[in-house]
Amino acid sequence: MSDNKTSTGRARILTGDTPTGQLHLGHWVGSLENRVALQDQYECFFLIANMHAFTTRADKPADIRRSTIDIVKDWIACGMDPEKSTFVLQTEIPGIAELSWYLAMLLPFNRVMRNPTLKSELEDKGLGDNYSFGFPMYSVGQCADILLFRPELVPVGEDQLAHIEPCREVARRFNQMYCGVNPHTEDEDYVKAGGLFPIPTGLVGRVARLVGTDGKHKMSKSLNNAIFLNDTFKQIKKKMGGLYTGRMTMDEPGDITNSLFEYVHAFIRDDDRIKELEEAYSKGDNIGDGHIKVEVAEHIDKLLEPMRERRVPYEGEAGDQKILELLREHTKQANNAAEETLYLAKQAMKIDFGKRSLLFE
Ligand code: ATP
Ligand code: MG
């Protein structure tokens, strides 16, 4: 751990979600579960990347706003605690856009475009050649989202690791160029050596990449293959039922590396039972896919049960208002942390022509 000093003395976490839909089981196993587990130990900043939602949905502002509120409801439902952590609404933090500009100068254009996640997102989301200039820009923006909060740890799904890498590169470059840190410094020593930014580490969740109910792509809120955190048991059963395995009969030996077994491992948290299922399935021992799907659906339902309860006080229009209120309160805390880093960055860049203070009503 580096000497990164924060107001609470605890190391920080920054991570977040784009409001392009509701949160799903992939988010839970990939990132949310770690957020909930680490929120006591770390000073946490959880970001709603609503500015980035415009990179693919500029024509749907009402949807983005709806999803922003829904995602905060999902967060609270899954146990992320607004009393312990700071919720950061990206569009209310001007420092993010500002730092994005400075960091953009330190990232070669070809490096940004080479990002494999960016390429597969273009493909998966069918963006073809018509994507906006802002779309690849989001990859630079993400570096600013992260670095502005000077976190040490970024809990993400596997697909996002490729976005953390340029962030680590740009943090090293900034520290070397503007803070005089020797390029041979070990990553964990950058702050000790006088750098502003710790070199953050991605923390991949228990399941790095949960497959969607299409059995093919990663579960994604944009791909119509997700089980959402607020789905009912009926919906979960129906979606699990549609998972394609290609197996025809109960006595046909099954492949225990198929997508159904990815779900078995992710949601039946009982090693003995998993072993039993694997043995019976691989032998074709009178066990149907349908049976296993129902069993997985029951486990998922049990996982989501307490989430449904925590969601109750935030239902409907009154619930929306509570969320907006909460976001307004948290914006102040978030800007305090963000502005502190931004000013230090501007000092390092010799553009500290006056300390501004942001007023928020
Ligand atoms: P979109 O389709 O709009 O890209 P998404 O479902 O990929 O949405 P994001 O908001 O891009 O969700 O991702 C939020 C976080 O959840 C990231 O850290 C991402 O890596 C993680 N995540 C998303 N989907 C999965 C998945 N299927 N398995 C594991 N982690 C995931
Ligand atoms: Mg995504």
Between 84-98, 127-141, 192-206, the lowest mean confidence (pLDDT) is in 127-141
CA 219 to ligand 1 center in whole angstroms: 8
The mean of the pLDDT values for the chain is: 93
Place of tokens 């860049």: 349
Distance 84 CA to ligand 1 centre (A): 23
Query: Residue 107: what pLDDT?
Result: 95
Walk me through the domains of the chain, giving residue ranges and CATH numbers.
12-208+315-348 (3.40.50.620), 233-311 (1.10.240.10)
Phi, psi of 10 (to 5 degrees): -90, 150
Amino acid of residue 256: I
Higher pLDDT pick, 244 / 181 = 181
Which is nearest to 49 in space by CA: 74, 20, 75, 11? 20
**CA 239, CA 256: separation in Å to the nearest integer?**
20
Ligand 1: residue whose CA is nearest its atom 6: 220
Nearest to 337 by CA among 189, 174, 151: 151
Atom of ligand 1 nearest to the CA of 219: 27
Would the pLDDT of 118 be above 90? no
Span 356-361, average pLDDT:
71
Q: Which value, in Å, is the radius of gyration of the alpha carbons in the chain?
A: 22
Among residues 84, 72, 81, 78, which one has the least CA distance to residue 12? 84
Mean pLDDT on 181-206: 97
- Which ligand minimizes its atom distance to the CA of 226? 1
Residues 147-154 have a mean pLDDT of 97
Proximal ligand: closest to the CA of 203: 1
Is 50 exceeded by the pLDDT of residue 1? no
Query: How many angstroms does the Cα of residue 87 sit away from the middle of ligand 2?
Result: 19
> What CA–CA distance (Å, rounded) separates 290 from 69?
35
Q: What percent of the chain has pLDDT over 90?
A: 81
Rounded Cα distance, 239 and 160, in Å:
25
Estimate to the nearest angstrom the gap between the alpha carbon of 330 and the chain centroid: 19
- Whole-number Å distance, alpha carbon 220 to ligand 1 midpoint, is 6
- pTM comes to 0.92
Choose which residue among 15, 18, 217 to substitute to test ligand 1 binding: the one with the highest number of ligand atoms within 8 A of its C-beta.
Answer: 18
218 Cα–ligand 1 center, Å: 8
What is the SS3 string spanning 305-317? HHHHHHHHHHCHH
Our mutation pick for probing the ligand 1 site, out of 13, 28, 31, counting the most ligand atoms within 8 A of Cβ, is: 31
Specify the residue with its C-alpha closest to ligand 1, atom 5.
220
Using CA atoms, how far residue 216 sits from 212, 223, 258, 289, in Å, is 7, 11, 10, 17
Q: Cβ < 6 Å from ligand 1: which residues? A: 17-18, 20, 26-27, 29-31, 156-157, 159-160, 209-210, 218-222
Three-class HEC string of 37-88: HHCCCCEEEEEECHHHHHHHHCCCHHHHHHHHHHHHHHHHHHCCCCCCCEEE
Residue nearest to atom 14 of ligand 1 (CA): 17
Cα 151 to Cα 10, 145, 202, 346: the distances in Å are: 10, 10, 10, 18
Residue with more model confidence, 115 or 211 = 211
- How is residue 248 annotated by DSSP? -
Top-ranked range on mean pLDDT: pick from 73-87, 106-120, 236-250 = 73-87
pLDDT tens digits, 278-307: 999 999 888 899 999 999 999 999 999 999
Question: Which of 168, 154, 190, 180 minimizes the C-alpha distance to 3?
Answer: 190
Ligand 1, atom 20, lies closest to the CA of 157
